[in-house]
């Protein structure tokens, strides 16, 4: 991940489920279908904050992430 918006999940029309977990000690922000911006969008708190994509019509587009330092990690699981 970088201090600029970085793709963490690409578009996948067959996506059924995904989870993105903040595996760092810094807050990370997600952008859904557009570039991630610091202090906007979906916030993943440090040390395990997570966001799930699930349900009858799961989002299948691109997900982006950003962190202040630009050197933090997320873990991703996707089922399709």
Domain CATH for 61: 2.60.120
Q: Regarding predicted confidence, which is higher, 71 or 62? A: 62
Give 24-69 as a DSSP string: SSS-EEEEESS---TTSSEEE-TTT-EEEE-SSS---S-EEEEESS
Mean pLDDT of 41-63: 96
N-to-C CA span, the chain: 24
Looking at the domain assignment, is residue 1 inside a domain? no
Domain encompassing residue 61: 6-79
Percent of the chain with pLDDT over 90: 90
**Number of domains, the chain:** 1
pLDDT at residue 2 tops 70: no
Q: Report the pLDDT value the prediction gives residue 1, as an integer from 0 to 100.
A: 55
Alpha-carbon distance of 52 to 21, in angstroms, equals 9
**pLDDT band for position 24 (50/70/90)?**
very high
Looking at the domain assignment, is residue 13 inside a domain? yes
Mean pLDDT of 5-17: 97
Q: Report the pLDDT value the prediction gives residue 60, as an integer from 0 to 100.
A: 97
Looking at the domain assignment, is residue 68 inside a domain? yes
pLDDT at residue 5 tops 70: yes
């Amino acid at each position: 991940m970088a201090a600029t918006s970085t793709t963490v999940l690409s578009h996948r029309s067959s996506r059924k489920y995904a989870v993105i977990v903040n595996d760092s000690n810094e807050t990370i922000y997600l952008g859904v279908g557009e570039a991630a911006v610091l202090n906007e969008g979906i916030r993943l708190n440090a040390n395990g904050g997570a966001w799930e994509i699930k349900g009858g019509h799961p989002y299948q587009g691109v997900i982006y992430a950003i962190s202040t330092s630009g050197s933090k990690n997320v873990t991703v699981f996707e089922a399709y």
